[in-house]
Amino acid sequence: MEDELKKVMVVLAHPDDPEFFCGGTVARWVAEGKEIVYVLATRGDKGSDDPAMTPERLAELREMEQRAAAAVLGVREVIFMGYRDGELMPDLRLRRDITRLIRQVRPDVVITCDPTTRYFGSGYINHPDHRAIGDATLDAVFPSARDRLAFIELWRDEGLEPHKVRQVYISGSLEPNEKVDITDYIEKKIAALREHKSQIKDPEGLAERIRERSSQSEDGAKPPYVEEFRRIVLS
């Protein structure tokens, strides 16, 4: 990523999504001097199979876990939008709220999910919240955050000037065109994921799977660890 791109806004659905989707990239960019802001649409209030757990208690727990994980990676600001887990819709309300945050934070780069990915291989259905946040975020980046008359109340009533995001990194894409080498940061990514104790029952097993999944090589040589994205450069 070019040196002049200093501020990155990560817009995802749930606590732990940043660490899974782009934790190594975030750790690398923080080390390179980038400012990272997390925006989570929900507080993850549905992600438990414990019959004694309540949505309110789970949301508080997962928010604490997310802040701790962000701190491991060097992320200082975490914004929770307060939507209900499992109920995200890529509607005008969500798009307006993300547009507002883009105009407030004014990032050079936005990271989000690929809304076109419904499943991975034959063993995993992509969460509908992941698709919804990707759809709404891409629409907020272009054209809503850029155009003064889009959601005119943000400019007229809240004084939020338009903002043009320069690049988008889309995680979970089946057609990636950008690999970020996270070899030096894979263990920091894993350490951040360990903070999500309510979600990760077998941290050692997860760590090994991440190391294996992040390793890719076409020539048989020992490969670097990478995270892949669909990168869009906006003119």
Nearest to residue 154, comparing CAs of 204, 196, 100? 100
Instruction: Report the C-alpha gap between 149 and 127 in whole angstroms.
Output: 33
Which residue ranges in the chain fall short of pLDDT 70?
1-3, 213-223
Q: What is the pLDDT of residues 173-212, one digit of tens each?
A: 999 999 999 999 999 999 999 999 998 888 888 888 888 8
Phi and psi angles of residue 201, each rounded to the nearest 5 degrees, phi first: -85, -30
pLDDT value at position 140?
98
Domains of the chain and CATH, by start: 7-233 (3.40.50.10320)
Tell me, yes or no, if the pTM score tops 0.75.
yes
Sign, CA dihedral 22-23-27-28, equals: negative
Instruction: Identify any residues that bridge with 183 across adjacent strands, giving them in sequence order.
Output: none
Cβ neighbour number for residue 48 with a 10 Å cutoff: 17
- pLDDT, residue 2, reads 64
The rounded distance, in Å, linking the Cα atoms of 119 and 127 is: 9
The values of phi and psi at residue 75, to 5°, are -85, 125
* CA–CA separation, 34 and 12 (whole Å): 19
